[in-house]
Amino acid sequence: MYDDGVGEIAGDINDVDDIQIQVQSQLMIGEECSKNDDSKGALTAFNKAISLDPSCDMAWFNRGVLLEAQQDARGARQAFQICLDVNPNHAPATANLCILLERIGDKSGAYEMSTRALDFYPGHPAIVEVRERCSGSKTSKTIEEMTPVVTTESFKKEDMEVVMIESGVEDLNAVLEEAVYHDLDDDKNLDISELRSAAEVVAATENIQEKIELVQPLTQSIPQQTEISAPIKVDLAPKAADVNLDSLVEEATQMIRNGDPASALKALKPYLKTEAANHAPSWRIAGGAMARLDLDEHAISALEHAQKLDPSDAKGWFNLGSVKQRVGYLEDAGMCYANALREDPNYIKPAIKWSETSREINDIEGYLTAATVVTNLEPENPIKMELIITLIELAEGESEVLELASGLPPTLPAGPELASNALTLLGEGQTELHARANSAMNNHVESVTIWKALIQTQKTNPILWRGLSKSLRAAGDIDTSERCRVKADSLEQVSSVVETQPVVEATTVMQVETNQNQLVPETSNAEEQNSANQLLLTPVEQNTNIKAEPIVNPQVDLAKAALDVQQNSLVSEQFKNPVSNSIANQDVSWYNQGVALIESGKYSEALSCFDRALPSFANDDEMVIRILNGRGNAFYYLENYPACVESYHQAMLIRPEDVRGKTLYNMGTAYAEMERYQDSIKCFEQAIPRGLTKEEVKRTKDQIRRCNILLKEQIKKQKN
């Protein structure tokens, strides 16, 4: 809902997160199927995305591409048109539809679409040629004149009746036309699940078409604000039926409150281009209704018009920002939230949203401004602690951050001042953050005192010893600092499970002795299979025409050097020793010795042991994967990344299935080590919908943010 007494315009964005994650997952599955020439699997995935969210323009576009390839020109045309109805700025859809319309004989439509396409692709030869060939033509062909593809598969009448009742679809022919793409087993018989799948797509199509009819041609040509400098002509003749726009807006608002945005839009639509053309509340409520109908691009047009009419409305700016944030226009959304705060400095909602969007696009100045507003207005908000940590991290690595984040203003306060602000927000106390802030302020004596006090109650915490080591070094006590560092290292090595271990768990195998040389795990069969899957090393994309992609061992966290802008700044993950997977008996002694040598830091010697162990397990895939992973670990520690990648890649080829989100996460960190940040970002994005917990999703999004910073700097250096 819109934020004018009934809540924010798009509702709580988080309410739709689960559905959107599912939609994005289906889109990725469809793209992967397409790359593997599995058009049926791809179409199934895109259809599922449409069923989940009929307003997903990319799902409709991809469906159109697949249907056109299958010679279903009518279905492709419908899909491309719906894509453009939902998102008029979908450039590829304009180009594809332009070509398709000429091919089917609708030259008038092709000319019109080519004109739109050239706005996105100026001078594109193929589009220019279509425009020239179709210029002046009056030949047209409606979609109703095109022959639909009708299924010849058999089905049970009672099954069809059930699915039509379930879906609410009344058009039997529409279901039959759609069903041609849902016979997944190609047995020429549609079972109830296949009929249900077809009916769901038909229902989604009807749903989105009904919504589109409400906004067209309403937002195709938004009326311009009337110039008030012109003389106003007064018509003294009584009107047949004057409309009270304020009352109409109240009625429409109540309809939205009651969950009926379609009726609200229907009530307003007749007046929006006439009496209400310059009535901001009418356009604002209409935009809210469009947003609730998931017609975001149209909602943005209506809300922008409302704000041009009345730029002083803070809630209107917030509503516009909410919709822009939902569709991914994060920079524009941030500007809207800033405008909302300009009009109402005590408006907490846009401040919170602005801080979120600023973090996502690495707008540090915007984030600090927004988070400070939130902290002042709502001191108990969790953003306060997030702001404190950010200030300390900036202070600890100011020079590196300034170098990478090109958007920072030259007047950014120095590190000590940032840390001082963090301490002010923290208040009195003795915590790790207090110690870090004092170090950043060059108060090394106070920092050392705090670290020592913390160690008195947590003597086995390596993080505290390492913090003390840094403070002592900064204070000039190098010898004591080194002893503290050694102590931290020893504590980390003693610990068998490290809290900052990567998101995948290590496989544990007990030592056994048996004449048959069997490997007896401590876990159950189901747990063993799960652990085996986590050893899987699968790339994001397999392409035999390119160099093998970097693959990562799930037992080690590779988020280290490339992302370490400063040791405790942008990256919280540290590279840790792998958990021991030692196995006993003579055949695996070389493997055990290799694991032990890695844990002792003797990586070259470990490689020799793994190489000796490998031939003994030529027919044991599980052990071969373990040994190859061990080689990859050793190469990684030696910073021989090409060899590391090759070893992991060999392990991946043994079992190239069951890619999980945790595997993709670690793969992303591997790409980051090699400074392939674009590939790293892609891995992290693909990991999010694949079984990660909420905390792991948050961690993954943080990694995306960091890699975006590094990618931006990398591109800048390449241009120079």
CA dihedral 613, 617, 622, 627 (to 10 degrees): 20
- Rounded to the nearest 5°, which phi and psi values hold at 102? -65, -40
pLDDT of residue 308: 92
Q: Work out the widest C-alpha separation in the chain, in whole angstroms.
A: 108
- Reported confidence tier of residue 661, pLDDT bands at 50, 70, 90: low
* For residue 158, pLDDT beyond 50: yes
Decide which of 232 and 211 is more confident.
211
Judged by average pLDDT, the poorest of 11-25, 106-120, 321-335, 458-472 is 11-25
* For residue 123, pLDDT beyond 50: yes
Please tell me what DSSP assigns to residue 509.
B
* For residue 511, pLDDT beyond 70: no
pLDDT of residue 317: 95
Give me the residues paired with residue 521 across strands. Answer: 509
Q: Decide: pTM greater than 0.85.
A: no
Give me the residues paired with residue 189 across strands. Answer: 154
Average pLDDT over residues 49-70: 90
Strand, coil or helix: what is 698? helix
Q: Does domain 13-210 have CATH number 1.10.1060.10?
A: no
Give residues with Cβ within 8 angstroms of 293, minimum separation 6.
55, 211, 214, 215, 261, 262, 265
pLDDT of residue 14: 40
- Reported confidence tier of residue 12, pLDDT bands at 50, 70, 90: very low
- What tokens were used for 476? 């000039």
pLDDT of residue 347: 93
Decide which of 153 and 229 is more confident.
153
* For residue 101, pLDDT beyond 90: yes
Can you give the residue ranges of every domain in the chain?
Answer: 13-210, 525-719
Strand, coil or helix: what is 521? strand
Contact 661, 696 (CB under 8 A): yes
Contact 273, 191 (CB under 8 A): no
The pLDDT tens digits of the residues spanning 184-231 come to 777 777 888 888 888 888 888 888 887 777 776 665 556 554 333 333
For domain 525-719, the CATH class is mainly alpha
Decide which of 233 and 331 is more confident.
331
Q: What is the DSSP string of 198-245?
A: HHHHHHHHHHHHHHHHHHTTTTTSPPPPPPTTSPPPP--SPPSS---H
What's the whole-number average pLDDT of the chain? 74
Q: How far is CA 27 from each of CA 35, 41, 90, 305, 701, rounded to the nearest angstrom?
A: 12, 11, 16, 33, 19
pLDDT of residue 496: 33
Alpha carbons 41 and 406: distance in angstroms, whole number? 43
- What tokens were used for 533? 């899957």
Share of the chain above pLDDT 70, in %: 73
Residue matched to tokens 């793209």 = 31
pLDDT of residue 108: 92
pLDDT of residue 133: 94
The pLDDT tens digits of the residues spanning 256-300 come to 888 888 888 888 888 888 888 889 999 999 899 888 888 888 889
Pick from 661, 695, 664: which is nearest to 680 by CA? 664
- Reported confidence tier of residue 549, pLDDT bands at 50, 70, 90: very low
Q: Quick count: other Cβ atoms within 10 Å of Cβ 92?
A: 17
- Reported confidence tier of residue 181, pLDDT bands at 50, 70, 90: confident
Domains 13-210 and 525-719 share a fold: yes
Which of 393-402, 650-659, 672-681 shows the highest mean pLDDT?
A: 672-681
Which of 80-89, 290-299, 331-340 shows the highest mean pLDDT?
A: 331-340
Cis bond upstream, residue 217 (ω within 30): yes
Contact 670, 558 (CB under 8 A): yes
∠ CA 246-250-254, nearest 5°, is 170
Contact 219, 301 (CB under 8 A): yes
Pick from 192, 198, 111: which is nearest to 149 by CA? 198
Residue type, 689: P
Q: Quick count: other Cβ atoms within 10 Å of Cβ 61?
A: 23
Please tell me what DSSP assigns to residue 429.
-
∠ CA 636-637-641, nearest 5°, is 30
Residue 155, H or E segment: strand 154-155
Average pLDDT over residues 701-711: 82
CA 128 to chain centroid, in Å, comes to 36
- What tokens were used for 447? 């920092």
- What tokens were used for 575? 């590279």
Average pLDDT over residues 346-358: 93
From first CA to last CA, the distance across the chain in angstroms is: 47
Pick from 489, 626, 503: which is nearest to 556 by CA? 503
- Reported confidence tier of residue 332, pLDDT bands at 50, 70, 90: very high
